[in-house]
Amino acid sequence: MSVLDNVDASTNLAKNNELQLLVFRINESDDSAYYAINVFKTREVVESRNHFLTQIPSAHKLLEGTIILRGLQIPILNLPLWLGTTLTKEELMKSNILICDFNGIVIGLRIMSAYRVIKKNWNEMHAPDSYRLKDDGVVMNDTRLEDGSLCLILDYEKLLADVIPQALVNVIEDTNNLAEIVIPEKLKHGTVLIAEDSKTAQTALKQIFKNANIKMNMFDNGKKLVDYIQALPDPSIIPAIVTDIEMPEMSGFTVIQILAKDPITAAIPIIVNSSMTGNNNKREAEVLGANGFVDKTKSHNIIPLIVDIMN
């Protein structure tokens, strides 16, 4: 039985501010760290020895090549090397490939072994400021396993940006998108609030809003955004809110629930900007009260969508 067989529906998790993580290791050392990824970004785990790797000339050093899986050509990224670990030939033979789906882009991550799937509440996910001090930081947040072991959640969007930048949003497209748009006065003179914990995604969003000459205020997680709004004398001045789904302390789904249920904030447009682009997530966001959903590879569409909702 696959380690990914027992996964709850995302809708059940969303209502309880919960997530499920696939925990894995990147080498065979007994004291090697545990890492994790949201299960809804994963498809399956396959043994690397069963798949022929086709190398790509002049590729990025972390792009090992591609494999063919069920007719799909999948780029394989060397996750251990990104984390400063070089696998031996023996370890490479024993290693596995974690097939992931980011924004509809399927990639494979080299790992040693999938450990198991765990369920956590988002308030059990911690993001110390030390993870944010350096621009090249690769850890986004962490949690603890039952035995007290530290488990690190990586900035997989940064990995994509490093190796396959064309897989992420092209912020230059934003200026073309805005040429014909008339910005409402409330948006032109207001400040859009954004909850996003990935530094890579934050950088893209800041550039998109700068291109549009629209003010924004960035929060590292949903709880900080909600606390800020609830402390405002008049939250109705907020033209719009943009939120990621996966964030420590409070998920984007919980942000939507809280704001949509409160009569004081219910009228503020909420846009979800996420790499978890499955139909279940989009449907759940809408049911909870979000006004729109934008894939992170298409973040340049956020402002046109806000304008459309406000008109």
Residue-wise pLDDT tens digits, 200-236? 889 889 999 998 899 999 999 999 999 999 999 999 9
User: Does residue 222 sit in the same domain as residue 195?
Assistant: yes
Range of the domain at 178: 173-310
1: in domain: no
User: Does residue 218 sit in the same domain as residue 118?
Assistant: no
User: Does residue 83 sit in the same domain as residue 108?
Assistant: yes
User: Looking at the 3D structure of the chain, how many domains does it have?
Assistant: 2
**Which of the residues in the chain have pLDDT under 70?**
1-15, 30, 103, 131-136, 167-179, 277-278
User: Does residue 192 sit in the same domain as residue 261?
Assistant: yes
Q: Where are the beta strands (DSSP E) in 132-252?
A: 139-144, 150-154, 191-195, 215-219, 241-243
Cα–Cα distance, 184 to 267 (Å, whole number): 16
Task: Give residue 133's pLDDT.
Answer: 59
Task: Give residue 52's pLDDT.
Answer: 92
Cα–Cα distance, 302 to 281 (Å, whole number): 17
What are φ and ψ of residue 145, in 5° steps?
-80, 170
State the chain's mean pLDDT as an integer.
Answer: 86
4: in domain: no
Cα–Cα distance, 56 to 22 (Å, whole number): 29
Task: Give residue 187's pLDDT.
Answer: 92
User: Does residue 160 sit in the same domain as residue 177?
Assistant: no
User: Does residue 303 sit in the same domain as residue 230?
Assistant: yes
Task: Give residue 137's pLDDT.
Answer: 77
Cα–Cα distance, 56 to 78 (Å, whole number): 14
Task: Record the pTM.
Answer: 0.80
